[in-house]
Amino acid sequence: MLKAPVLAPQTTRLLGMLGLAAILLVFAVYCSRFIERTSFVIDGQRYYALFDDAMISMQYARNFAEGHGLAWNAGGERVEGYSNPGWVLYMALLHKLGLPGNQTSLPVQISGAVFLGLNIVVVWLIARRVLEGELAPLLAAGLTGFYFHLNNWALQGMEVGLLTLLLSSAVWLALRAGDAGRFSAWPYALLALGIWVRVDMLVPLVALAVVLAWQDPPHRTRHLAWGLGLLAAALALQTGWRYWYYGEWLPNTYALKVVGIPLAERLRRGLDVFGDFVWDSGWLLMVLPLLLLAFWPGPHTLLLFALLAGQIAYSIYVGGDAWEHKGGANRFIALGMPLFFVLFVHALDKLRGVLLQLRPGACAQLAGQAVLAALVLTSLFSFNVIHEMDARDKWMTIKRPIFVPGTERYVNLGLLINEITAPEARIAVATAGNIIYFAERYGIDMLGKNDKVIAHSQPHSTGGSLSNVEEIFRPGHNKWDYHHSIVTLQPDIVAQIWGSSHEMAPYLEAGGFEHFEVDGFVLFIRSDSPYVLWDVVNSRSR
């Protein structure tokens, strides 16, 4: 019987590190291509811009960097229309680089690539503690590195890349300390830092503290004291600062997405969209890691499962995200997907081991590793699904990623508004990121993320069928008040229509707005506005 060749431990470690280096090199090329595909040329200049919600944070960051405080409108009412204070401050620091407006988003995207690359390394380190050999950890790192949904959120400017790195690093430090039989406060410190980046990180912090307190009786008191203590400190400091600066105990985004939304409705939609995510990603592949709980439970895998379950439960609790119609992992679940990939490869590797026991030998071992690698690589096509016909081309950057066509249109609209208005003009929008950022005008947010009145109002029903949860509740997009935004606040231009044009029409008429089509954009302009450059509007209108 042939025997499998035995390599020296130093050689196998070197091969593993070379494999990781190869993954990182390909990933760097991929990120470069991805970022380039999100950019576009307008009037001979290349523009880099982020997903629209990220550009809302950029608006706050620019105002803060320029000395106008953490406000969406310079000199306007203070409203906490963001959920990521740490990320906003980081964006403000990047604004200090002094780059022109068409390039300010590029450092944010490069930062996302760096955080994702570091996360690949950390996932590899986690996998080396959970899995055996050198191949399986590389496969887990590869799945993480080329998971479209995680990359898409991070490379288009969201804080997801940084939060994923913090979560993975906390897991690795916790596993390392646990294997050495000692206590470490660093995992809790990283997740407490994550709460400052985005408050949702309280979920993995609680999950980590509870699971480690249960798994590590000798240090149980220290786990609970550090974990829950840092949680309480982070929340108390952040809440106190919020009340001092904004006069509110909770973020405006909390009021927008939770106030008036019944828990049952949130749970119903959350379960519905999570079920769609599992089904679309290949339900058999998604449930495969559950074999570990049934047949190979262990402290490492239980910890990963607990943290992943926490992210899933939180996503369900808040009703999912606003862009579930695009498919794939939302911003909350994407954080836990690297842990899922470790569990996924672990389950496949355990099955490979069972089959090897039935047919041992060198050839069988090599064949098993080849099959394992093939299964993992082909699973990428299932995990990277989106609800568009050209999903594969978007993942492989043959075509532009999702959201980018909309981003380009919003940037063009913002630049147009800048050209046809005076600096004192007020612009009403539904997508509150790129348009206002590039228009450099005072914004009126018709969907309430940056408006306390709308955020605290009761949600609208779209009149959709009760069988379609997506039509009834879309987080952050089902509150508006046309009278408040159009008649009371009196914008100079209503740049977008939200909801029914027939419903909005009486308010536009009452506000004295006229319909124009300027450079292909439909605008409603207040006829008596002194801040509209009418000569420019008339010369470019159809």
pLDDT for the residue 12: 77
Q: What is the DSSP code string of 396-465?
A: TTSSPPTTHHHHHHHHHHHHHHHHHB-TT-EEEESS-SHHHHHHTSEEEETTSTT-HHHHTSPPPP----
The Cα angle at residue 461 between residues 490 and 272, in degrees rounded to 5: 130
The first and second tokens of residue 266, run together, are 């949130």
pLDDT for the residue 273: 94
Taking residue 358's Cβ as centre, other Cβ atoms within 10 Å add up to 7
pLDDT for the residue 469: 37
pLDDT for the residue 362: 65
pLDDT for the residue 365: 73
pTM over 0.85: yes
Q: Which residues contact 50 (CB under 8 A, 6 or more apart)?
A: 58, 105, 108, 109, 156, 157, 158, 407, 433, 434
pLDDT for the residue 464: 36
- Per residue of the chain (542 residues), what is the pLDDT tens digit? 444 455 566 777 888 889 999 999 999 999 999 999 999 999 999 999 999 999 999 999 999 999 999 999 998 999 999 999 999 999 999 999 999 999 999 999 999 999 999 999 999 999 999 998 889 999 999 999 999 999 999 999 999 999 999 999 999 999 999 999 999 999 999 999 999 999 999 999 999 999 999 999 999 999 999 999 999 999 999 999 999 999 999 999 999 988 888 898 899 999 999 999 999 999 999 999 999 999 999 999 999 999 999 999 999 999 999 888 888 899 999 999 999 999 999 999 998 887 766 666 667 677 777 888 888 889 988 999 888 777 788 888 888 999 999 999 999 999 999 999 999 999 999 999 999 999 999 999 999 999 999 999 988 864 333 334 344 578 888 889 999 999 999 999 999 988 777 888 999 999 899 999 999 999 999 999 999 999 999 999 87
DSSP strand pairing (426-429 vs 493-494)? parallel
pLDDT for the residue 364: 67
Task: Report yes or no: 31 and 116 within 8 Å, Cβ to Cβ.
Answer: yes
Instruction: Give me the residue spans of the domains in the chain.
Output: 9-38+104-395, 404-540
